[in-house]
Amino acid sequence: MIVRKPIPYGRQFISKEDKEAVLKVLDADFLTTGPLVAEFEVKFAAYVGAKYAVAVSNGTTALHLCALTLGVNKDSHIITSPITFAASANCIRYCGGKVSFIDIHPDTLLIDLNILETTLKENPPNTYDGVVSVDFAGYPVDLERLRHICDEHDLWIIEDSCHAPGGYFTDSSKVMQYCGNGAYANLAIFSFHPVKHIACGEGGMITTNDKSTYESLKRLRSHGITRDSNLLSENHGGWYYEMIELGYNYRLPDILCALGISQLGRAEENIKRRREIARRYDTCFKDLPIIVHPPLHQEIGHAYHLYVIEVDRRKSLYDYLRDANIFAQIHYIPVHLQPYYQSLDSDPVIAPVSEKYYDRCISLPMYPSLSDAEQDYVIHSVKKFYE
């Protein structure tokens, strides 16, 4: 058999233009805190349809700043999904808050809004403060319904949209609501880790439609420092600034913004390619004992960060593919089962759907530069496993 390059579950593609954009910054005046930060922010905000965007060092720091600006502290109690990357919950722990996990729906693999609704009704008012919702695999949460539920209980929403830039759901007024557009969630966050849609190496973005939140995020990203004359208590001269709250250095350098801007230019065509790859998998797996996710849905613009299937004998399939140099991956080990979360003195988590899903899930290679021949090889290998 031919020796093949390993096929990963996800990977970046860096074009000649991407490289040129980065090289240009290296000769410019600003490697960081320069003009490309605002350019990336404006273009990204336009792409997702939000008013404001704040570029930060990665998706995790984006979540941390969102939690801070919403006032999460040791008395806060937040809800999220167990089927996500740990950072969706960790951001609450950074601020000392408590995290509760609510099970997923078996079809969408997103937080089950019926269970959420019941949980909120069964607990005394003001038990919870907010929800970190996750557009898992690129399937957008029905934020219209989530907002409705959250409004009844006075909860905020952080939309963890790391998997879904360019994804959308259609709301009851038949409007396509793009992930991170700020129409329903208070804040949304994105990651530019190389396996995500837009690769910066490391990088993140927060979007919101609220101006004062936007201003607060910009301060928190850079030490809590301001030069805004309206906020200064005095002014000693041109050099003067004040640190008015405890912030961080969570900035995204211009070098990486250049890469992000260049990559963003291809985001739309890349999503088309991801959807094409997904349709092909869907078609080829129809007659196999495989559950494909999610069931096809006209009203949903799936962003396909991941192509997830559910199978019996998952470990055997994983090992079989690995021997064939196909590096499938498992998304995710339920966060509440991680030793750290187990070690916390929390209420018991009831999430049988998530735990069953974890025993059966596997993510197949899904990225725009996956060639048809490579995809053929993946499909062929999966079929061979079942023969």
Ligand X SMILES: *Cc1c(COP(=O)(O)O)cnc(C)c1O
How far apart are CB 60 and ligand X at their closest, in Å?
A: 3
* Smallest separation (angstroms) from ligand X to the CB of 87: 4
Nearer to ligand X, 76 or 88 (CB): 88
Nearest to ligand X of 134, 141 (CB atom): 134
Find out whether 232 and 226 touch, Cβ atoms under 8 Å.
yes
Q: Which is nearer to ligand X, 120 or 132 (CB)?
A: 132
Q: Which two tokens stand for residue 53?
A: 């965007």
Q: What Cα–Cα distance (Å) separates residue 62 from each residue in 207, 217, 324?
A: 10, 9, 37
Distances from the Cα of 273 to the Cαs of 195, 210, 279, in angstroms?
A: 15, 33, 10
DSSP letter for 327, please.
Answer: E
Token reading at 56: 């930060």
CB nearer ligand X, residue 250 or residue 377: 250
In the complex, least distance from residue 91 CB atom to ligand X, rounded to whole angstroms: 9
Q: Shortest approach of ligand X to residue 135 CB, angstroms?
A: 8
Nearer to ligand X by C-beta: 290 or 361?
Answer: 361
- Tell me how far, at minimum, the Cβ of 79 lies from ligand X, in Å: 15
Write out the residues near ligand X by the rule CB under 6 A: 58-60, 84-85, 87-88, 134, 160, 162-163, 191, 193, 204
Residue sitting closest to ligand X (CB): 59
> If you write DSSP's letter for every residue of 140-194 in order, what string do you get?
---HHHHHHHHHHTT-EEEEE-TT-TT-EEE-TTS-EEETTSSSSSSEEEEE--T
Burial string for 139-168 (b: 16+ CB within 10 Å, else e) reads bbbbbbbbbebbeebebbbbbbbbbbbbbb
